[in-house]
Amino acid sequence: MTIISYSIINTFTTELYKGNPAAICLVDADVSEETMQKIAQEVPVPTTVFIENKQLDFSIRWFTPETEIPICGHGTLASAFLLWQQGIVPKHQTITFQSTNGPLQARWQQERVEIAIKTYPIDEIVCPLALEDWLGSKPIYVGSTELDYIVELSNEDLIAHFEPDFSAMEQFPVRGICVTSKSREEGIDIVSRFFSPAQGIDEDHVNGSSHGALGPYWCEKLLKNQLVSKQLSKRGGILYVTPQRETVAIAGSAVLVLNGRLSI
């Protein structure tokens, strides 16, 4: 029997019971994919992350209770926070994670963790009738990335009070649907929510990777170089978003919630 230690980190928040939680496991190379999936089913959080120290960098994989996923912004941010918090990597040092989706870098910046994620270009599409029915209102804009639908609605109240039919999302050929609008709250530029039952997560508490599309879209629309974004899920979270040439910098706070151990 082998014991694996894990830590649960809440991201995009400074509060213990807010933000998006991720379980981080530091593992050896001999932990199988099957074992990783079983651990993800056992740990009571939406995403479990497995990190292996490769000396010069770290490999990283993300699992929901249902499946392995190609990218997870909050899981990457949580992993970097733990490596710095445990002193495995000094805070002045940039961390490079190697993933099947390419390398991801993280750095400690102004008391926040900043990660650079891929920019996801958006192609505007004609809103499918099924999507408009699902939304329950006519959207201002609908776009498609290689992963998701990005849907702008007319106001923040529509985002906050939206009650999606998750079973109906099976008809849409995307990882998830992100609904977004301009914010009316002082100090907040945009709001959003993200739904992805195909990945085993009906609503993501705070979704980082969708900001690879939201960042460039809203910066161009609002004539800004950077954004403060608020996720309007029940747990909520704040992201600081800065589009760059080929990536988008996503920064946020994080807090350690608990440490635990699993037998495998």
Give residue-wise pLDDT tens across range 182-226. 999 999 999 999 999 888 889 999 999 999 999 999 999 999 999
pLDDT digits (tens, 9 = 90+) for 73-131: 999 999 999 999 999 999 999 999 999 988 999 999 989 999 999 999 999 999 999 99
What are the structure tokens assigned to 212, written together? 């690879």
Q: Lowest-confidence range among 36-40, 113-117, 173-177, 196-200?
A: 196-200
Predicted pLDDT at 258: 94
Domains of the chain, each with CATH number or no CATH: 3-118+251-263 (3.10.310.10), 123-245 (3.10.310.10)
Q: Where are the beta strands (DSSP E) in the chain?
A: 3-11, 20-26, 47-53, 58-63, 68-69, 95-99, 102-109, 112-118, 123-124, 141-144, 148-152, 176-182, 190-196, 201-204, 227-231, 237-243, 247-252, 254-263
